Chains A and B, each alone.
Chain A
């Protein structure tokens, strides 16, 4: 897909968030079980977002012995931002999947899970390093 096509697709899906009734005008209503499965996937992503947000609070509250104020601030704001990204992506992906099912097209593919996995792995390694360094020092 070209960059312009990608931009247009992104604009269309953001417009869909704010004119949600349009989703239900397009195509045919899929089997309700598929819609419910899509809803559960959405909720699973919301729980992931909640875990990231809760992790952001936990870093600030429970790593006080190991981290300086600024390190805690950066880590917890990073986790909170990841939670926000996860939430927005959950809504976007849910709308796009629902639309694809109504129109009978392929489900959208996404790099987001891989990107999130990398971010979480890096954060986890950083925290383990910091805590171990705190014990050693």
Chain B
């Protein structure tokens, strides 16, 4: 519950809104969603037969997921601080790169 207006919030080490915790869980949810998407991508490649293209595509999907896992893990560790810094922009760009890799790989196999 927010403090009544006009009263400054009490400074403690623990954030009463549990913002870092919620942000950590958001990273976990997103990692899980990424895993499901990567598995669907793998299934796609398996169904289309063991050609060189689909083997390369499987490798790319696994790499994209592992890269996301690493980015999420590093960010979750940084969120353990008492006053975590804002997400660095390279983290956002790395996440976007993983998504693009999954989508481009998917488009290649669907095609």
Co-complex (A, B): yes
For the complex, what is the distance from the CA of A32 to the CA of B15, rounded to whole Å? 10
- Cβ A50 vs Cβ B30 within 8 A: yes
Chain B residues whose C-beta falls within 8 Å of the C-beta of A47 in the assembled complex: 29-30, 33
Chain A residues whose C-beta falls within 8 Å of the C-beta of B26 in the assembled complex: 39-40, 43-44
- Cβ B43 vs Cβ A46 within 8 A: no
Q: Give min CB distance, B42 to chain A, whole Å.
A: 10
Chain B residues whose C-beta falls within 8 Å of the C-beta of A49 in the assembled complex: 99
* Other-chain residue from A46, A50, A73, A91 in contact with B111 (beta carbon distance below 8 A): A73
Q: Which of A30, A33, A83 has the most CB of B within 10 A?
A: A33
Q: Which of A40, A57, A58, A87 has the most CB of B within 10 A?
A: A57
Chain B residues whose C-beta falls within 8 Å of the C-beta of A24 in the assembled complex: 86
Chain A residue total in the interface (Cβ 8 A) = 45
Q: Give min CB distance, A57 to chain B, whole Å.
A: 4
Q: Give min CB distance, B34 to chain A, whole Å.
A: 6
- Whether B89 is near chain A, meaning CB under 8 Å from some CB there, is yes
**In the complex, residue of chain B having the shortest beta-carbon distance to the beta carbon of A49:** B99
Q: For window 72-97 of chain B, which residues contact chain A by CB distance below 8 Å? A: 79, 83-90, 92-93, 95-96
- Cβ B40 vs Cβ A58 within 8 A: yes
- Whether B14 is near chain A, meaning CB under 8 Å from some CB there, is no
Chain A: residues with CB nearer than 8 A to chain B?
17, 20-21, 23-24, 29-30, 32-33, 35-40, 42-44, 46-47, 49-51, 53-54, 56-58, 60-61, 72-73, 76-77, 80-81, 83-84, 87-88, 90-91, 94-95, 98
Q: Would you list the 5 A-B pairs with minimal beta carbon distance, nearest first?
A: A20-B89, A35-B86, A57-B40, A87-B99, A54-B37
Identify 7 new A-B residue pairs, CB closer than 8 A, beyond the known A20-B93, A43-B29, A54-B36: A36-B84, A39-B86, A50-B30, A50-B33, A53-B103, A83-B99, A95-B92
